[in-house]
Structure 1
Amino acid sequence: MIDTFTEEKSRKIALLIDGDNAQPSLIGDILAEVGKYGLITIRRIYGDWTTVNMAGWKKALHENAIQPVQQFRYTVGKNATDSALIIDAMDILHSRLVDGFCIVSSDSDYTRLATRIREAGFFVMGIGKRSTPKAFINACNIFIYTENLGPREGKEKERKRRGGPIEKGAEETRSRGYDPLPLLRAAVDMATDEDGWAKLSTIGFYLRQLDPGFDPRTYGFRQLTQLFKAFPDVFDLRFENEKGLTKVWVRIKE
């Protein structure tokens, strides 16, 4: 996660899951991720519970107090789940029972819904696969890729198994086509003060503005600080202790 992004613990969130486009094995990680940004007061999952492909969800529902919402498939090839979730979301929006929403799906059909929620001044978070259309990702304040969820231990072991300095992890992600440097440079430029340094917290804010799907975990790092450390030839880091709290500053090397 971006360790500097504002996490409103008092925010009330409605979690709405498209059962046709989500994995039951990740429900624990999804709840934990959404819980970082507020209190989940509404938990619903939508799908046709008469079909076998929804069977894997049943245990997860009972264990995590998620309310199933039945939506029959009236036409072959059409996903009625989308409509049911959207209608419920608008009802919740107008009820003012929550301060934000989390939509769990990789379906671009929710793009307009996410946009409408933001227009109303509500926080909107998305969770889906990395293949999720960019339009839906950018319609959210925050978008978390499911590939970045799951057991942390396995990912840490894999990074250690590769060996080498921390820079090697960054080089490998860049070779796979995930180069964070242009985005990092742009965010640092936007956050830089007159003295040439930028607060890490401000950089984190601009990173989410530039790309709601930005996440250090995509590049193999748990925190934004670690990602910047992976590029010692590009960035300088400065650490200051203020009242027991460590503040981090970043600048682009000349």
Structure 2
Amino acid sequence: MENDKMIAVLIDADNVSDKYIKSIFDEISNHGTPTYKRIYGDWTKPQLGSWKSVLLKYSITPIQQYSYTTGKNSTDSALIIDAMDILYSNHVDGFCIVSSDSDFTRLAARLREAGMYVVGMGEKKTPAPFIAACEQFKYLEVLAGEEASTPVEKYKKQEISKDGDDKEELIKSLKTIITESSDEDGWAYLSEVGKRLNKRHPDFDTRNYGHSKLTPFILSLKGFEIQARKTNKPHVTNYYVRNSSK
């Protein structure tokens, strides 16, 4: 099962605000269990001071990395070296790289080449190559929006965050995937469609569009039909989707 994965969580403190920390670990719990929890930065810098109380609360190990040369990011190098050491330890099933920095693009690709499950997390400014290198990518602004105090505030925050993938491009991908995986009547298993969509658009998340699940997201679009089919197991219903001719 996906949530049985042992995941190394590596955070680039230079590129991530401590205000996202609860959202980061809440989301990680949907993918697996965080084993290694490390954060990298030059902790002598005053701007990282706000992280200190957070590290204790979430039991995150700070890794000190001095900036040896102006213009060079030593923090990135330390995170990359640690990631490779963890990879070769054979103690994890996947990695979560928390950063908005494109310098981790090659690392994400290398970890996936080794068969690792790689989740990226970063802000909307994250460059496309790093997003594409991850198996899944989550926008921190959207994850933080999940904690809004009321459903209305939650929806508004998510609506603001809808610029991850172009919606028209997603619709085209959906139609293609359904055509490729459907039966003779045009019906495709919704869960499988969702998996294939994530592979083609790593940053796709229904929460980017104000929906908590795939079914209501597709229902909000034009050009699709959804069918619920009961199974012989109590309380288990399978959902299917097909392209609408309307």
TM-score w.r.t. length of structure 1: 0.87
How big is the shift at 1:24?
0.5
Across the two proteins, how many residue pairs are aligned to each other?
Answer: 238
Gaps of 5+ in 2: none
The residue that corresponds to 1:120 in the other structure is 114
TM-aligned CA distance change 1:159 to 1:106, over 3 Å: closer
The residue that corresponds to 1:190 in the other structure is 180
For the residues of structure 2 that align with 1:104 and 1:80, how far apart are their CA atoms? 16
Match of 1:147 among 133, 138, 141: 141
The residue that corresponds to 1:37 in the other structure is 31
Please say if residues 190 and 206 of structure 1, whose CA atoms lie closer than 8 Å, have aligned partners that are also in contact: no
For the residues of structure 2 that align with 1:138 and 1:114, how far apart are their CA atoms? 9
The residue that corresponds to 1:239 in the other structure is 228
1:252 equivalent to 2:243? Answer yes
Gaps of 5+ in 1: 1-6, 162-168
Helix, strand or coil for the counterpart of 1:126?
A: strand
Q: 1:109 is aligned with what amino acid?
A: D
Helix, strand or coil for the counterpart of 1:132?
A: coil
Matches within 5 A, 1:1-254: 8-152=2-146, 153-154=148-149, 156-158=151-153, 178-179=167-168, 180-231=170-221, 233-242=222-231, 243=233, 244-254=235-245
Please say if residues 140 and 212 of structure 1, whose CA atoms lie closer than 8 Å, have aligned partners that are also in contact: yes
TM-score w.r.t. length of structure 2: 0.90
For the residues of structure 1 that align with 2:193 and 2:230, how far apart are their CA atoms? 19
How big is the shift at 1:154?
4.9
Please say if residues 178 and 186 of structure 2, whose CA atoms lie closer than 8 Å, have aligned partners that are also in contact: no
For the residues of structure 1 that align with 2:171 and 2:162, how far apart are their CA atoms? 11
How big is the shift at 1:159?
6.9
Work out which structure has the larger RCO, using CA pairs closer than 8 Å and 6 or more positions apart in sequence.
Answer: 1
How big is the shift at 1:158?
3.8
TM-aligned CA distance change 1:200 to 1:114, over 3 Å: same
Helix, strand or coil for the counterpart of 2:49?
A: helix
Helix, strand or coil for the counterpart of 1:20?
A: coil
Q: 1:240 is aligned with what amino acid?
A: R
TM-aligned CA distance change 1:235 to 1:246, over 3 Å: same
Please say if residues 228 and 238 of structure 2, whose CA atoms lie closer than 8 Å, have aligned partners that are also in contact: yes
Q: Structure 1 residues 178-187 or 78-87, which shifts more?
A: 178-187
How big is the shift at 1:177?
5.7
Q: Deviations over 1:79-118 (max 9, x none)?
A: 1110000000000000101010000001110011001100
For the residues of structure 2 that align with 1:123 and 1:138, how far apart are their CA atoms? 13
For the residues of structure 2 that align with 1:160 and 1:18, how far apart are their CA atoms? 29
Q: CA RMSD in A?
A: 2.2
Helix, strand or coil for the counterpart of 2:14?
A: helix
How big is the shift at 1:34?
1.0
